[in-house]
Structure 1
Amino acid sequence: MWPFSSGPAFTPATGIKPLAGKVILVTGGNNGIGKETILQLAKHNPQKIYMGARTESKALEAIASIKSQGVKDVDIEFLPLDLTSFPSIKSAADQVLSKSDRLDILVLNAGIMAVPAGKTPTGQDVQLGTNHVGHFLLTKLLLPVLEQTAKQHNSDVRIVSLASEAHNMAPNISTIVSTEKLTATSPWTRYGASKAANVMFAAELARRYPAFTSVSLHPGMIKSDLWGASTESNPLLKYGKALVGPLMFVDVPTGAFNQLYLAAGAEKSELVNGAYYTPVGKARNNKWASDADVGKQLWEWTEKEIAAAGY
């Protein structure tokens, strides 16, 4: 079983299809596997890549770093995006809609992990709000250009949601869709809830918009900055990581393989719409993906949360 099983042999340099003419958006693209995803996609000559990120200085530094690695002529644009802020999300979507008449690949990569309790400005748990609600609203606002692209000849619109095996730590759906109940749980339970939501969202998006290919994934256990705060605050995790990390953790380039394969490596016909994938390209049975009732509940709850804020 994962993580020791292997999927399709995949190397980004040879496994990614030509991307000429395609427009791509990657959230959380200024570091970690988001940055690596942009780098590898840029090597295949897309028309444009939007790098969604909160901090301009970090984004511009990341773009310069990517361009220095043999892709200086690729159009990579900083897209200001704070997923806890509905106005920021609306502004980001408007920027894309005003500049691009197509969007072929949307990688919902950004996220936070096991942070202390808190709420977004619109009142959602900060982990569920950042990892799920913000991405839901961004996708919703980008639907016009996604649908326009999907209507074109030989279209291949893909929406790839970064989830995690942490979905196994999620509570039941009634807790996930109750901010009061969810905020009373632990940081890891709330993180699990947000990752289960990523899986449910991808599956429900596939049900409602079958013209797109929408999948979720676990990237593997990655050696990245995301582990910082949670590792230091949990001695068991800190020392457990030190003991088993060399066996279980992969580097950032390898950690990006699964979402690169799903976004641009696999043929459209090779992917199961709505499915959940472990590395690399292995579709797995997942209760959150297969249960249409919980997907519908989460979707309708999220719509209500967004509507209550006027979006």
Structure 2
Amino acid sequence: MHPLGFLNPLDNVHNFDPDKHIQDLGGKVIVVTGGNSGCGKETVLQLAKHHPQRIYLAARSEAKYDNAMKDISAAAPHANVRFLQLDLSSLASVKSAADQIHSENDRLDILVNNAGIMAHPHGLTQDGYEIEFGTNHVGHALLTRLVLPLMQATASKPGSDVRIVNVSSAAHQMAPGAGIVFAQLKTPMDSFNPARLYGQSKLANVLHARELARRYPEILSTSIHPGRVETNLTNVMLDQNSFFGRFQKFFDYMAGALPVQQGTLTQLWAATWTRQEVKNGAYYVPVGKESLGSKKSRDTELAKKLWEWTESELAAKGY
């Protein structure tokens, strides 16, 4: 038992069980980013059990896909799980992935923006954005933007249930005081601790989902905190043995980390639970509990500013 387990709670208020509660997904097309490991892999595995028309497992390399498919195929041997090459730190790669989705489908029902990096050393993406913000927000924002027409077309069909799930984190509360430091997003932001930069990117995930819900109400867009989960996301921070890395080790000792099967429940819930019981634009914590999030995460003007900044940047890059 962990003495401070209440700091990493799993309050399954809906008694959500993927095997019991995920309805038949026949005919649906699904995309999961970062689907090769951790919560992304578990999301693909659980959804694949329920007979979707097609799931795209997005990963940086086919070798990562092949490795993940050993477990996924064992759990769902007849599922149609395809490889989608995607490097979120490269907008060209994002565009190529979106082109593949469009060329192979006439619908897209569920997009789980799951992939992410955490507390990496300071740096820039291939397109010149602070590496965590560029990967966790800008890459996902472009992917979402490019597949939105397909999702809108799907939403117009009778009986459709189209959803976007942004995997954020309670770490969004660690964002800098301004929330999003727009003036420095195209620099490595060397004066900020990487953990704060992770918080900034996760705040962007929440704001992005809220603004998607406002602008595209026909699509159910949410953001979620999976809990502190036993995945490789924190490996870089732990290996560096920084203050935040040492704090994470202490937190894990005192509060514990959820196994992947439990850590994936909230995003599975957001993607599949009864639509009428999921609030568009809301932020959820384990499992399916609406949370206010930070004050900055509820700032409608900040959400609008982030949307406009992102649109302007993507247009300037030719997207």
What is the TM-score when the length of structure 2 is the normalising length?
Answer: 0.92
> Which residue does the alignment assign to 2:283?
276
- Aligned CA distance change for structure 1 residues 132 and 174 (closer, same or farther; 3 Å): closer
Mapped contact 2:9–2:286 kept (Cα < 8 A): no
> Which residue does the alignment assign to 1:115?
120
> Which residue does the alignment assign to 2:157?
152
The answer to whether residue 299 in structure 2 is matched with residue 294 in structure 1 is no
Distance 1:300 1:186 in 2: 26
Distance 1:191 1:116 in 2: 11
Supply the AA of the counterpart residue of 1:306: L
Counterpart among 191, 201, 205 of residue 208 in structure 2:
201
> Which residue does the alignment assign to 1:12?
18
Structure 1 runs of 4+ off > 6 angstroms? none
SS at match of 2:181: helix
The answer to whether residue 67 in structure 2 is matched with residue 64 in structure 1 is no
TM alignment of 1:166-185, pairs within 5 A: 166-171=171-176, 172-173=178-179, 175-176=181-182, 178-179=184-185, 183=189, 184-185=191-192
Mapped contact 2:179–2:203 kept (Cα < 8 A): no
Mapped contact 2:124–2:188 kept (Cα < 8 A): no
- Aligned CA distance change for structure 1 residues 181 and 75 (closer, same or farther; 3 Å): closer
State the Cα distance separating 1:168 from its structure 2 match: 0.7
TM alignment of 1:8-87, pairs within 5 A: 8-69=14-75, 71-87=76-92
- Aligned CA distance change for structure 1 residues 177 and 102 (closer, same or farther; 3 Å): farther
Mapped contact 1:275–1:289 kept (Cα < 8 A): no
Distance 1:167 1:16 in 2: 28
Mapped contact 1:274–1:289 kept (Cα < 8 A): no
> Which residue does the alignment assign to 2:252?
245
State the Cα distance separating 1:17 from its structure 2 match: 1.5
- Aligned CA distance change for structure 1 residues 288 and 149 (closer, same or farther; 3 Å): farther
> Which residue does the alignment assign to 2:198?
191
Mapped contact 1:182–1:190 kept (Cα < 8 A): no
> Mean alpha-carbon deviation: is it higher for 227-236 or for 72-81?
227-236
Supply the AA of the counterpart residue of 1:196: L
The answer to whether residue 226 in structure 2 is matched with residue 219 in structure 1 is yes
State the Cα distance separating 1:190 from its structure 2 match: 0.6
The answer to whether residue 318 in structure 2 is matched with residue 310 in structure 1 is yes
Number of aligned residue pairs: 309
SS at match of 1:283: strand
Supply the AA of the counterpart residue of 1:35: K
Distance 1:263 1:282 in 2: 14
Mapped contact 1:177–1:301 kept (Cα < 8 A): no
Supply the AA of the counterpart residue of 1:156: D
State the Cα distance separating 1:236 from its structure 2 match: 4.6
SS at match of 1:26: strand
- Aligned CA distance change for structure 1 residues 156 and 189 (closer, same or farther; 3 Å): same
> Mean alpha-carbon deviation: is it higher for 162-171 or for 223-232?
223-232
> Which residue does the alignment assign to 1:132?
137
Distance 2:185 2:247 in 1: 31
> Which residue does the alignment assign to 2:269?
261
- Aligned CA distance change for structure 1 residues 187 and 236 (closer, same or farther; 3 Å): closer
**Structure 1 unpaired stretches of 5+:** none
State the Cα distance separating 1:282 from its structure 2 match: 0.6
Mapped contact 1:162–1:216 kept (Cα < 8 A): yes
Distance 2:74 2:140 in 1: 30
Distance 1:54 1:301 in 2: 27
Mapped contact 2:38–2:231 kept (Cα < 8 A): yes
State the Cα distance separating 1:2 from its structure 2 match: 6.0
What is the TM-score when the length of structure 1 is the normalising length?
Answer: 0.95
Distance 2:14 2:266 in 1: 10
Distance 2:280 2:43 in 1: 21
Distance 1:185 1:237 in 2: 13
Mapped contact 1:79–1:92 kept (Cα < 8 A): yes
